[in-house]
Structure 1
Amino acid sequence: MAKPMLIAVAGILLCAVACWTSGYLLGHRRGHDAGVAEQAKALAAARANAADLAARLQTMRAGLADVRTRLQQQIDEHQRLVQRAEQDVATRDQRIADLQRAANQRAADIRKETTDESCQPLADLPVCPAVARRLWPHADHRTP
């Protein structure tokens, strides 16, 4: 009788080991599948996040390109204004020099006229006859 009992215990033990092994393997497989599925979800989320970040980066690069273009246009406009201002200053300086030369020439002409011995410019001025007789005793002092 011990032998059938031993066979029954061995059968139960063998059945328990078989159940445990199959449960272990099936559970491991399910856990593996769940882990793979979770990793796949995480990978998909990471890829979506990377795509979102790439799109944002592209948008920022496009905005930066626009800013660079506008800044370059402003720099070019500023340089044109500086060149125009420099030309205006050069023109103004030339005009000042021309006016200074003309003023100096006019001052020289006036000095020449005031030192003229005949005093003809003064004789042509309308003055009262009494003053004219004292200044130019030999001239005709008729009142017009």
Structure 2
Amino acid sequence: MPNSIREQILQAVTGLLLPVAAAAGAQVRRSPPTGITREQSPALLVFPESDAITQRPNDRVERQLVVRVVALARETGSDAPEVIADRLLVAAHAALLADVNLNGLSLGIGELDCEWDVEDADATAAAIPARYQITYRTLAADLSIRG
């Protein structure tokens, strides 16, 4: 059974972020069930948040998938975690918007918002979540076929 277009989009987003993370010495994790340890950071985290139907033209359904990409970094001594996380998010943003159609899977990607969160736990950590809306279409009767 084929994957839904939604799942294909999430895999494509994760795939776009892999070289960005590798270049920064980071990793990409999709919906990690537990917190990211000091050893696992820096990291780019990908979380699907919602998938809403916006239109139903004929036998097609237009959908909007909201994905949260979090750049996570901890203090390393040379750079503040906010600086590391910001650089990681800048590169991730550029990668996502370089192919807004995700090889034909989506109609477009748009940035929704961004937040900053700095925590002082065992080491200062910064998380910068940015949310993106990905518009795509499927057939009404089959989530795995582009509409």
| TM bracket (short chain) | under 0.3
Q: Which has the larger radius of gyration?
A: 1
Q: TM-score, normalised by structure 2?
A: 0.18
Identify, as 1 or 2, the structure richer in strand.
Answer: 2
Identify, as 1 or 2, the structure richer in helix.
Answer: 1
Q: Which has the higher contact order (CA 8 A, sep 6+)?
A: 2
Q: TM-score, normalised by structure 1?
A: 0.19
